[in-house]
Amino acid sequence: MSLIATQLRRKLVSSRYAFTQTTGFASGSKIKEITNTTQWDELVKNSTSSGRPAIVQFTAVWCPPCKMIAPVLEELAGKHTDLDFVKLDIDNHAVTNIVADYSVAAVPTFVSLKGDKKVHAFSGADRNQLQKMVEDMSDL
């Protein structure tokens, strides 16, 4: 590995640590972090059996728009307790298949689910679009 690649990797690892210590991934968040396929399968199973919709954010540690929209998502999660809110870090190799299954090409990407069915998806840190998605799912 080249010196530059090593330095970039160190920077990414340290920024990932700082991110998890200072954002909605910290304890007390109303948004659950999905870190493996078992947790994902459990979410889908529970959503299917209960009919409880979910809002999924595909995010990344290095993504400024993701950090910008995080407080908005946290606020919506607090208001819409009838929905499950989850985040997946696209750089987590344990969830690579999930990222691919939902064709995530940009972050943040938001997906609304009803059971195992995708209802709606969009990419970008658009507060109004996110709010509409959440309200639409809350009405189901």
Catalytic residues: 63, 66
Residues 6+ apart with CB under 8 A from 20: 26, 61
Residues 72, 81 contacting (CB under 8 angstroms): no
Q: Are strands 84-89 and 32-33 parallel, antiparallel or unpaired?
A: parallel
CA distance 2 to 8: 10
42 phi/psi in degrees, rounded to 5: -65, -45
